Amino acid sequence: MELFLLSVLLILTVFCFYYLFKPKQTQNAPLPPGHVHWPQKIFETLDYISKARTNTIHKFIAARKNKYNTKLFKTSHIGQNMVFLCTPEGNKFLFANDYKLVRSWWPITFLRVFENAEEEITPEQVLRARKQFLSSFNEPEALAKHVGITDEVVKDHFKLFWDGSDEVTVYPIARKLTFAISCRLLADIRDREILDELLPAMGDVVAAFFALPINLPGTKFNRAVKGSRKCRKIFVDIIKQRKIDLFEKDRKEANDVLSNILLENHRDGIETKDVVLAKNLVSLLSAAFDNPSVTIVSIIKNLAENPEIYARVRSEQLEIAKGKAPGENLTMEDLKKMKFSMNVLSESLRMEAPASGTFREALNDFTYEGYLIPKGWKVHWSVHATHRNPQYFKDPEKFDPSRFERNDPIVPYSYVPFGGGHHICPGKDFAKLQILIFIHHVVKKFNWEKVNPDEQMVRVPNLKAAKGLPVRLYPYNN
């Protein structure tokens, strides 16, 4: 009898909690269709993880579109009640309503990895430093300066890791390349020992963005926090030394972002804490190197699988090389001539965008397409909802760079590898720049084939080649 009463009490308690914390619906609008409660939510999460590991998240979305609604559905994702928007119109709606209906949101792990180093850091200091860093990447004049420096770093990279090799594993050395480029342009770091010390720590930071926030020894999150602190300490030491080098030698200009910011602040009489600059360097570096390296891997894979496309890319790049003197660096004008190579880059981003999308949080209750999005719920726009959707891209599973040079109109907001709105990727032009320069040199020097013909890209949770993409190299006698 006592067991029966306890069971009844437990059931009543569960129902009370459900109705107590169930979002209040306004305007008589229903919640989007889908599952966010136990036990279904665990199956939603497991299905998403399963699709991610085979890089078929678009099938996860398509199945729910077919079952519930073609425009949106709700599910449980990364531990949150999450509404997926599934159309270009949904993407546009979110991008247009930043800071109105929604705001940017990231998992708590992401925020804690970049914890404040000192309590006295103010948001204004962080925002000013970030704005200074980003302006150095977005302005056309700054980008033009970056071309020659990036070309030098890429040439050195090939001498170190490709030339004279019969086989390379692309993923780890692509990360070394994009990391070296980012460190050179951000802080003029050239010392190989410092780069080799920073990269593993930054790798731990990036790997934990969607990990469980469990700060115990051996966990991804714990390694990320330690990695973030280590990188920040290294950058603080670099900043202190850079101030000495700049101000004692009375230098008026520099080629790296950090030095220019220090000079600008010195001229304006503004004192920014070293730890603020270091924190921004860590957060920007985490974004600057990882995604471009993944796209390089994707391009190498796709060119190996499509020799006729490789031939067109090589022909275009050899034509550009004819106009260069021996040892002469590429320029922005050269990059503008890489039209088909840019199409290859765009198509790789369509099929295998490094980031699945980003998240927003509802600032208040609002309705979309007749459904209620409650305050505090998370909303996700995903490249997988449109990039491989035949409604927007004909024959979406085919790698076809020519789709970007035909007159086929691309539906606005259906192609969103860099996001949109206030939170569009600020480094998108810089990312394209370094990838195009890499393409120029790799096709000039080598043809290649995949060691594992069936190897594909997977998300665990970040996009990567399943086995690192080892390739056999066939060098040209240029």
CATH code: domain of residue 212: 1.10.630.10
Angle between helices 123-138 and 428-445 (to 10 degrees): 40
Gap between the Cα atoms of 158 and 162, Å rounded: 5
Cα(46)–Cα(65) distance, rounded to whole angstroms?
18
d(CA 75, CA 380): 10
pLDDT digit string (tens) for the chain, length 478 residues? 443 333 434 444 444 444 444 544 445 789 999 988 888 888 998 999 999 999 999 999 999 999 999 999 999 998 899 999 999 999 999 999 998 999 989 888 877 777 654 444 454 555 555 566 666 666 778 788 899 999 999 999 999 999 999 999 999 999 999 999 999 999 999 999 999 999 999 999 988 877 888 888 989 999 999 999 999 999 999 999 999 888 877 666 678 889 988 988 888 888 888 988 898 888 888 878 999 999 999 999 999 999 999 999 999 999 999 999 998 999 999 999 999 999 999 999 999 999 999 999 999 999 999 999 999 999 999 999 999 999 999 999 999 999 998 767 899 999 999 998 888 888 899 999 999 999 999 999 999 999 999 999 999 888 999 999 999 999 998 6
In a domain, 170, yes or no: yes
Give a three-class secondary structure readout of 408-471. CCCCCCCCCCCCCHHHCCCCHHHHHHHHHHHHHHHHHHEEEEECCCCCCEEECCCEEECCCCEE
Please, what sign has the CA dihedral across residues 276, 279, 283, 286?
A: positive
| Domain with 265 in it | 101-355+417-475
**Sign of the dihedral through C-alpha 245, 249, 253, 254:** negative
Classify residue 324: in a domain, yes or no.
Answer: yes
Tokens representing 265 are 């602040």
Residue 81, H or E segment:
strand 80-85
Structure token digits, residue 154: 């890429």
Establish if 141 belongs to a structural domain: yes
C-alpha span between 141 and 183 (Å, rounded): 19
The pTM is what?
0.89
425 annotated ligand binder: yes
Residue 436 lies inside a defined structural domain of this protein: yes
* Residue 394 counted as domain residue: no
Scanning the structure block, which residue is given the tokens 């910011």? Answer: 261
Encoded tokens for 109? 């792990």
The answer to whether residue 219 sits within a structural domain is yes
Place of tokens 């720049």: 433
Other CB atoms within a 10 A radius of the CB of residue 144 amount to 14
**What is the count of structural domains for the chain?**
1
294 within a domain of the structure (yes/no): yes
